[in-house]
Amino acid sequence: MRRFIAITATAIGAAVLSASPISVHRSAGKAVSVMQDKANAEVGRPLTAGSVAGVNCRHDRRAVRRCATGVTC
């Protein structure tokens, strides 16, 4: 029964930590601390490779290149 309780507590703890923006850190002195994670968004960079504007810009640039070389137009 104790093993079942330990497994259940571990599973619940893992679910809570993965669903919430907190993380548990362990320092060299073996002290455990809980910290809230923060997002680091970069505002003002819309033309990065993964953004919608960056993909659209890349698509247009490739279309112009293909048309200039006579591949498609």
* Residues 31-58: tens digit of each pLDDT: 888 888 776 666 666 666 667 777 778 8
CB contact at 8 A, 62 and 51: no
pTM above 0.85, yes or no: no
pLDDT at 23: 78
C-alpha 44/C-alpha 7 separation (Å) is 46
